[in-house]
Amino acid sequence: MESNSTIKTELAVIGAGPAGYVAAIRAAQLKHKVVLIEEDKLGGICLNSGCIPSKALIYASDFLDKIKNSSNMGIKVGKASIDFKKMQQWKDNIVLKLNKGIDTLCKANKITIIKGTASFKSSNKLKIINNNNISYVDFKKAIIATGSKPIELPNLKFNSKKIISSTETLSLNKIPDNFVVIGGGYIGLELGTVYAKLGSNVSVVQMTDQILPGFDKSIVAILHKNLEKMNVDIYLNSKADKFENNKVIISSKEKGKIELDADKVLVAAGRFPNTKNLGLENTKVKLDNTGFVKVDNNLMTNDKNIYAIGDVSIGPMLAHKASYQGKLVAEIIAGNKQSYENVIVPAIIFTDLEVAIVGLTEQQAKNKNIEVKTGKFPFLASSRAMTRDETQGFVKIIADEKNNKILGVQIVGSEASDLISEAALAIKMGTTLQDLALTIHPHPTLSESLMEAAEATMGKAIHILNPKL
C-alpha cells in the first residue's frame, strides 16, 4: 500500500545506532530539523545485541568467577548456583532502560523518529517501507549510519538454533554444555570467556597462528595462558570444515582432523557493512573494494548531499568511534570546520584479562622509521592490584626516543578498559613521558601504573628495578 505522505527535513539520518542517534541529537542541538529512521530498535546493534548486553553478561559471569575464587581472601561460600533466566532478564532490563533513554532524548530534542527501512530514490529523497506502508522523506543532507552485520561462512550458515551469531549467543535460554567459537578475535573471545565462566566446555578455533591477529605477542601470550587456565581449548592454525551430528569438524595444521562436540557454534569471523538495498545506485555514493562507503576527511561520500559514519565508513568498527563520527559530522554539516584526521581511537577487549590499546604499537612505530623507547610496569608491583587480588598484566608505553612523546600505550589486566582513556588523552595532547610521570596520581590506585610505566620508560621507576640503570 503506497502513501503519498512526504516529510521534508534538513537532515535525514538512516540508522539509530551509536553513530546515527548521536549525529541526530547533536544536529538537533545545532538547530537542524532532523528525521531519524530506524528499522528495528533505537540504539542499534551495540545497545540491543552487542556492546551493552555482552558487557552485562561479562560482568555477571566475572562476578560468579570471583565468588568461586575468593577463598584465599578468607571468604568461603557454598556451591554458587546460576539462575540463567534471571540473568538474561537482568541484562534485558538494562538494555530496555537505555533504549527508553535514547527515545526520551530524541523526543526532547524534537527529532522525528520514523520506523521503517530506508532506501535512496535520489540524492535528495528517501523511500521508507514499514510493513505495507510506504512514505517518503525529502532531505537537504543525509547520513548513512546503517552499521554492520556478522559475516556468514559458506560451510557454517547461520540457522538460529545450532550455528549462531553473536546476536543469538547473547539471548540463549540455556547454558550450553559444549560451546565452540569459530574465530579468535575480540567478539569470539569475549563471549567464549562468558560461557567458560558459566560452566560450558569452550573451544576456540582460529585460522592464524595466534588469537587476536595483529596484536602484540606479549599481550596475546598472557591472554592465551589465562584462557587455558579457564579450561578453554584453543586450536590455532585450524579451520572449521563443517557441522554435523552436533560436532564441528576442524582441520588442524598440527593435528589433522578433529571432532569437537558442540551444542552451540558461535561464528565470530568478523562483520560486514550494511550497504545492501540502500538504493545507492540512485545516488553518486561509491563503495570501496571491501564494501565500505567511500568518504573523505569530512565523512562526505562521493555525493555532496550524503555522508557516512560508523561501521559502514572508515576506521575500526567500534561504537565509540561511531559516536565520535556522529558528533563530528553534525558539526561539519552545520558549517563548522572540522575533519576526521589524526584521530586517536582506543580499542578494548573485555576478556579476562581485559586488553586495551591506543596509538602505535612498537612495531608500527618502527615501520614508520621512528626510533622508540619502551617501558613496562607489571601489576604484580602495584599495591592496589594486590589489594584487589588482581596482579596479572601490565602497562606498556611506547615513546619517541628523540623527544619522549608518548606514541602508544598497551594495558593488559583489571580495569584496562577504564585506564586507557588517560593514555588516549596523553597521546592526543602530545604528552611526554615527563608530563605523565610528573602528574600526581592518587594512591593506592591502578592508575598509578601509568605513571610508573612512564617512569620505567625513562629508567626512573621507583617500584620496580630499572634495567636501563
Hey, which residues are catalytic here? 443
H or E stretch covering 9:
strand 2-14
Q: Which residue has the cell 565462566?
A: 197
Sheet with 256-261, edge to edge strand ranges? 238-244, 247-252, 256-261
Q: Where are the beta strands (DSSP E) in 76-161?
A: 112-115, 117-122, 125-130, 133-144, 148-150
* Pairing assessment for the beta strands 394-400 and 133-144 based on DSSP bridges: unpaired
CA angle 418, 422, 425 (to 5 degrees): 130
d(CA 307, CA 313): 9
CA distances from 454 to 215, 235, 413, 436, 463 (A): 21, 36, 17, 6, 12
For residue 44, give the C-alpha cell.
542499534
438 closest CA partner among 395, 387, 404: 404
Q: Where are the beta strands (DSSP E) in 68-215?
A: 112-115, 117-122, 125-130, 133-144, 148-150, 163-164, 178-182, 201-205
Q: Which residue has the cell 545450532?
A: 162
Helices (H), 151-185: 166-169
d(CA 220, CA 410): 12
d(CA 337, CA 215): 35
d(CA 257, CA 241): 9
The answer to whether 307 and 299 have CB atoms below 8 angstroms apart is yes
3-state secondary structure at position 142: strand
d(CA 225, CA 332): 46
348 closest CA partner among 401, 409, 298, 307: 409
